[in-house]
């Protein structure tokens, strides 16, 4: 019987030991990874996510421009009345602009209606606030809406002739669409006082009529409508619950 070479045996034993050691290190690494706490970055809450309840951050560029933050959070009654008063002030001031620019008869007729009916609605807002014992709000959203309105009028002021007429009517369409959305999603749902709620619902009916009239006028004066300004036949916001 032949004796095995001791060198071969030693080499084999050493190889097995090395493999076992490597396997142990890999297992240790796997366990270390499994036990290690992994920090997942928190999701950033921005206005660009799909969540319809998300609001823009304080650094959102829309706020820098003075535009209202899109939200579905109900607004307190005082601020709701404040926002509607700002809308009324803007519509009256824009109508005065249109008349001063000596617009054509159809546009002047619309502007006269805006001045008359929004002046009356503004007075009603102050009256209902007094009756309900609610102070008209002037919070950040009211201020942002006022800034946005002033920016719109500044832009219109630089226009003349047909360009102004088309720009004015486009602004009326977009403004009334925004107001309807604001009423449906935030102002009417946040109203607790019966008189304030009734006033907001009545205001909604008037705003919807103004929007329809502006859309018809836009078709009459011609030209390409600005982005966001819908024309007759396109979908409009669904009225808020009358309950």
Total domains in the chain come to 1
Tell me the C-alpha distance between 71 and 186, whole Å. 8
Four-point Cα dihedral 195, 197, 202, 207, nearest 10: 140
The answer to whether residue 125 is domain-embedded is yes
Sign of CA dihedral 8, 13, 18, 19: positive
The answer to whether residue 92 is domain-embedded is yes
Q: Is the pLDDT of residue 14 over 50?
A: no
Say how many CA atoms lie within 13 Å of 124 toward its Cβ. Answer: 18
More confident residue, 7 or 144: 144
Instruction: Specify whether the CB–CB gap between 211 and 236 falls below 8 A.
Output: yes
Q: Is the pLDDT of residue 208 over 90?
A: yes
- Nearest CA to 152 out of 165, 169, 171 is that of 171
The predicted model gives 14-36 an average pLDDT of 45
Q: What is the pTM of this model?
A: 0.66
The predicted model gives 69-74 an average pLDDT of 72
The answer to whether residue 48 is domain-embedded is no
Tell me the C-alpha distance between 58 and 63, whole Å. 7
For residue range 92-136, list pLDDT tens digits in order. Answer: 999 999 999 999 999 999 999 999 999 999 999 999 999 999 999
173: containing domain: 76-221
The answer to whether residue 21 is domain-embedded is no
Instruction: Specify whether the CB–CB gap between 201 and 240 falls below 8 A.
Output: yes
The answer to whether residue 235 is domain-embedded is no
Instruction: Specify whether the CB–CB gap between 154 and 167 falls below 8 A.
Output: no
Predicted pLDDT of residue 72: 80
Confidence of residue 228 (pLDDT cuts 50, 70, 90): low
Q: Is the pLDDT of residue 87 over 60?
A: yes
The predicted model gives 200-227 an average pLDDT of 90
94: domain CATH number is 1.20.1260.10
The answer to whether residue 10 is domain-embedded is no
The answer to whether residue 188 is domain-embedded is yes
The answer to whether residue 28 is domain-embedded is no
């Amino acid at each position: 019987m032949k004796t095995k070479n001791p060198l071969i045996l030693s080499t084999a034993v050493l190889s097995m030991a090395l493999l076992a050691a490597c396997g142990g290190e890999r297992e240790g690494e796997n366990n270390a990874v499994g036990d290690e706490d992994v920090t997942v970055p928190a999701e950033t809450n921005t206005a660009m996510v799909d969540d319809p309840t998300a609001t823009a951050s304080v650094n959102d560029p829309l706020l820098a421009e003075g535009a209202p933050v899109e939200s579905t959070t109900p607004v307190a009654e005082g601020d709701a009345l404040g926002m509607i008063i700002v809308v009324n002030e803007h519509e009256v001031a824009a109508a005065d602009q249109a008349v001063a620019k000596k617009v054509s008869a159809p546009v002047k007729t619309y502007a006269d209606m805006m001045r008359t009916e929004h002046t009356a609605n503004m007075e009603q807002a102050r009256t209902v606030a007094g009756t309900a014992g609610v102070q008209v709000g002037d919070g950040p959203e009211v201020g942002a809406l006022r800034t946005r309105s002033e920016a719109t009028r500044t832009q219109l002021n630089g226009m003349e002739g047909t360009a102004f007429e088309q720009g004015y009517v486009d602004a009326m369409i977009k403004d009334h669409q925004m107001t309807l959305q604001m009423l449906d999603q935030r102002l009417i749902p946040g109203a607790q006082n019966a008189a304030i709620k009734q006033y907001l619902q009545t205001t909604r009916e008037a705003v919807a009529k103004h929007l329809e009239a502006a859309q018809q006028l836009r078709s009459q004066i011609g030209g390409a409508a600005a982005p966001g300004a819908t024309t007759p036949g396109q979908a409009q916001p669904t009225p808020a619950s009358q309950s």
